[in-house]
Amino acid sequence: MFLSQHDVTVDTVSELLWYLQRPESVSNAERDMSTGLQNSPTEIVEVDLAQLGPSPPRIISIDRPRPSLFALIIGINEYLDPGIKNLTGAVADADSVRDFLLQDIGVPPEQIKNLRNAEATRLAIETEIQNLSDSSAIEKNSPILIFYAGHGAQMPAGDLPAIDGKIQMLIPHDFSLAGSEDEQGQGVLDVRLSSLLADLALKKGNNITCILDSCHSGSGTRNDERDPTFAVRSIELPQSYTIPSSIRPSHSDFESSRASAIAKGSENTGMRSHVLLAACLPDQEAKERHGSGAFTSALLTLFREQGLDQLTYQGVIANLPDLPLRPPRSYSIRLQGPQPKRELYPVKRSVHKPGHFVLQAGEAHGITAGAEFDIYSDMDMTSLIGRVVVSEPPSCFNALCSIKSEADSNSALLQGSDCPVESAYALQMRAGEIKSLRVLIPLVEDFIYVFRRIASDMQNGDNVILLVDSEDEQPDLIVSSRPSSQSPSSVARFEIMSPLCRQHGLTRMPFDIPLDEADSAKKIHHILRSAAHFYHHLNCSANSKSRRIIEGTNIEVECFQLQESEDLSDFGDILVPDPEGKNLNIGGVITIDIDGAQNEDAEELPAYGYKITNNTGLNLYASLFYFDFSDLSIEPYFLPPTAKNGMIETPLPAHDCLTIGYGSSGTPPYSYLVREGEDVDVGALKLFLSTDYVDYRRIAQKSPFETDHRGTKRVNRLSKRSLWTR
């Protein structure tokens, strides 16, 4: 390859990168890539302020955009049944939320529906949620808030499929402890609420936030025995209480819950139909004191102090103060909002090794030796203390760090015990030792700007891409230049070298990048970096000490084709494993015969679900991802909820199972198809397990290719079935 700016011919990648990283070459590259800026003249306008005169400044009135948020706000202090203890702060909480929307946010009153006390019957609550779905005033993807303050309760699920064997419910004003044979006096069951929200998400989009300041622990018939000034927002149901058949949830209610409402083609990573902010976990207590709920008060204070535009859902959880809950203290968020860009990890001084620091994140979080972190004194990152580097291979959940002495901002860290890092936060600035993506690119002029971008990465210490000279060096990908059948220019083609893919007939990605476009180098570079992320997380594994979890048959993963059952709800069909079908996971390989189908209408394709069985004595957190080799996307099939300090229930308890795509997990089934022009597609399922909570949302990624043609589809089962009777 001839480099004209150096008047030299290079024969290897090493030679090419050596020349490209020389200062004069880099400056040339910068000049070449900034032609657009050079062709944009800059005009400077001089203004003589003295000519403006002494006139006072004009007051300009700027119309504030009309907020598009719609809300249903429910607060219940008074209950019809004399056996239910009334509350004192639920209505006040609802009024506070209403006032916040009206005064702080500027939501028009006509966009807020209020239900208080006697207005908040079971029928009224369910009807008003349905009215949100049917409202012509609410546009698709408008933000919708549903707030509830009042009692909650739970009861054994019996033979009904339910998480932890319990059915939870909100207690409306007209609830009867004695129960009834019909719908009168019943609660709003959790699965019914989920079904209503699923329908709402289908019609209005999944920009829905549900805030519940209640609990279900069954101890709310009395005040807190340790502090009588607290009242608990839950009631204890009599053992004789049963759910009447008229509202008894069928399996279809579970299937038509949040996840079933995913709009076909949606790519909101990690999102389902709504976000749920709850005051506590199912076995904890939500409390009120001095006429208001502790959770709502803290939430509104946080909103006003930090501003809604500065908070993510995870930020809400992290910044809420500890409340007077029974231990363990926690808040529960059942569904995540947008994926955070980077995570903050707690860091403290090492007690056993002076001059070092312990990062409360380790191998399970993707941390490796050599990773660098900036240390801040608070979560707002207002005060930078210094920089540390992971000094040795980390353990599962912790990493030992030393001070990066050459950093410019380490004066505070070097002060020893006077340094205010008893409780600080670390933001990762540079990755540690990772296995680079091995890429073979021919030394031709078509790829010169791709090489320059990779050389720039290397100068910045970013070595996620390793260029090799031949196939003998076992590249992960081969990028080649091929003539295009649709244009006179060439296209870049991406060849997959994974033995797993080639064994099953997938040899290249079905997407080409035209090389005559101005941003072709940028696109190819982005694809390669996405591939590096893809293969890093696909190939990473735990150390030998952690592998005992999956030894032998400790963890079983089964795959089943699903079929419609005879159950049906107002929201669609229920899917269950085919009773005559077998586990499709044979020896770690799942083979699905598409039968030539390339139809992207996922409703017409077979649906599949998964069952993960935990045969260990450990309670485990599980996250399941689908890695698509054809487009480099990483799709989360299951992620645990998020909670303050990771205090959430384990989704995969000891000697129990987790179902994905059916059952009570609230996750959608999936269908699979081959893309146009392909005969086969290959993907990999990877299961991440840990005994401590780890947030793996950072692993998910969209395809770097500009396409909607994916090899896996979430199934939308909300269409109604045609029925007849006589």
114-130, pLDDT tens digit by residue? 999 999 999 999 999 99
Residues 357 and 256 in one domain: no
pLDDT per residue as tens digits for the range 195-212: 888 889 889 988 888 888
Flag whether pLDDT at 364 surpasses 90.
no
Domain presence at residue 30: no
Distance CA 660, CA 670 (A): 9
Question: Mean pLDDT over residues 398-418, rounded?
Answer: 68
Last residue of a domain, one of 517, 539, 561: 539
Percent of the chain exceeding pLDDT 90 equals: 33
Flag whether pLDDT at 687 surpasses 70.
yes
Flag whether pLDDT at 46 surpasses 90.
no
* pLDDT value of position 476: 96
> How many domains, in total, are found in the chain?
4
Residues 255 and 353 in one domain: no
Residue 420 or 146, more confident: 146
Choice among 37-41, 572-576, 722-726 with the minimum mean pLDDT: 37-41
Beta pairing class for 166-170 and 188-189: antiparallel
Q: Kindly report the three-state secondary structure assignment for every residue of 133-183.
A: HHCCCCCCCCCEEEEEECCEEEEECCCCCCHHHEEEEECCCCCCCCCCCCC
CA trace torsion 392, 398, 400, 406 (10° rounding): 90
Flag whether pLDDT at 718 surpasses 80.
no
Domain presence at residue 13: no
pLDDT tier for residue 422 given thresholds of 50, 70 and 90: low
Residues 493 and 554 in one domain: no
Domain presence at residue 38: no
Residues 486 and 530 in one domain: yes
Beta bridge partners of 231: 223, 288
Nearest to 89 by CA among 278, 290, 224: 290
Residues 700 and 566 in one domain: yes
CATH code of residue 408: 2.40.10
- The predicted model scores a pTM of 0.66
Host domain of residue 496? 435-539
Give the orientation angle of helix 448-459 with respect to helix 520-539, to 10 degrees: 50
CATH code of residue 473: 3.40.50
CATH code of residue 201: 3.40.50.1460
Q: Kindly report the three-state secondary structure assignment for every residue of 440-501.
A: ECCCCHHHHHHHHHHHHHHHCCCCCEEEECCHHHCCCEEEEEEECCCCCCEEEEEEECCHHH
pLDDT per residue as tens digits for the range 567-611: 654 445 677 898 888 999 999 999 998 765 555 554 578 899 999
Distance CA 638, CA 661 (A): 9
Residues 370 and 505 in one domain: no
* pLDDT value of position 308: 59
Residues 497 and 587 in one domain: no
